Structure 1
Amino acid sequence: MKPKIIKKRTEKFIWHQGIDNRLHRRFRGHILMPNIVMGQQEDKAHAAQRLPEVLLMCNKSSCAKIAHNISSKNQRTIEERAAQLAIRVPKPNARLHSQENE
């Protein structure tokens, strides 16, 4: 059995300054803070997939903005879906290179 390597902490411990901060309280014996999402990622993913249909139910014109970290393959599918639903996408051909340009 290998011994567990314990490395020395070199940086200074910064104490939490807020008077009602849960992190400040947890060092005094209070219960731990829950992690941020706690099993809500699946719900958010399904809600995001239904979002264009929800926009169509509203009686307003809508515009979709594609985030910068979406891959070009996924960006193309989003653009096709938006075209089907008549949702305007600004700069739809960003980072999509056509065969004529090569």
Structure 2
Amino acid sequence: MHSPAWRKPRGIDCRVRRRYKGTNLMPSIGYGSNKKTKYLLPNNKYKYTVRNVKEMEPLIMNNSKFCVEIAHMVSSKKRKQIIERAKQMNVSVINAKARLQKTEE
């Protein structure tokens, strides 16, 4: 079975390990994001994934730093409840329009 995780090349003749021109680049610390802006969204807020209404309670005090992302497996009924609560708490929801439109056939 092939693992999808990256593994350091260790072969004695490996061109990637020896960092030849034109070969794949190896991950290094220089490719990392700035610690001040890491995980920040373009609206200068951090993403907070929510699965139910109760998980939004910590955001009452931090609604200026975080915005809500509703988890993928949440039903449309619960989504409406989460969006309603987010409006009361003045918290922005990233994917508020997902699964709310009715599809016409």
| TM-score scaled by length of structure 1 | 0.42
Q: Which has more helix, going by share of residues?
A: 1
Larger radius of gyration: 1
